[in-house]
């Protein structure tokens, strides 16, 4: 199953959000839903097969955690949908505008001082 199929179910999306906060056991995850532990286990298996979740054994228990690398296909897809960014970040223009204004003021001040000197000379 691919990432998009795994994310098609709202319970699996909720499980991912929960696991993004911290790893959890099946029993802890099942307590948050009105469905059985085997159903939660099935959802976790689907998420694991899609590479979105991984299970780590801790004694007799398995702790599930988010596998951020599994989100790469989703990020890639969303990047294709975003409009292209300008090569220069927008905030850089703010700094440029400030520098142009400062330089213009300095030149006007220097020019008016020079004109005053010429008139008094």
- Look at the block and give the residue holding tokens 């802890």: 28
Cα 40 from Cα 18, distance rounded (Å) = 13
Joined tokens for residue 21: 């906060």
Instruction: Return d(Cα 50, Cα 66) in angstroms, integer.
Output: 11
Q: Helix/strand/coil (H, E, C) string of 35-53? A: CCHHHHHHHHHHHHHCCCE
pLDDT, one tens digit for every residue, the chain (121 residues): 789 999 999 999 999 999 999 999 999 999 989 999 999 999 999 999 999 999 999 888 899 999 999 999 999 999 999 888 777 777 778 888 888 999 998 888 877 766 666 666 5
> The pTM is what?
0.66
């Amino acid at each position: 199953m691919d990432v998009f199929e795994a994310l098609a179910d709202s319970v699996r999306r909720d499980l991912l959000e929960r696991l993004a906060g911290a790893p959890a056991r099946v029993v802890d995850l099942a307590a948050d839903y009105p469905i059985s532990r085997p159903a939660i286990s099935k959802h976790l298996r689907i998420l694991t097969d899609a590479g979105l979740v991984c299970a780590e054994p801790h004694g007799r228990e398995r702790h599930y955690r988010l596998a951020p690398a599994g989100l790469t296909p989703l990020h890639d897809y969303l990047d294709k949908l975003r409009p292209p960014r300008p090569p220069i970040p927008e905030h850089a223009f703010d700094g440029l505008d400030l520098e142009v204004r400062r330089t213009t003021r300095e030149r006007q001040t220097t020019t008016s001082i020079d004109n005053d000197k010429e008139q008094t000379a």
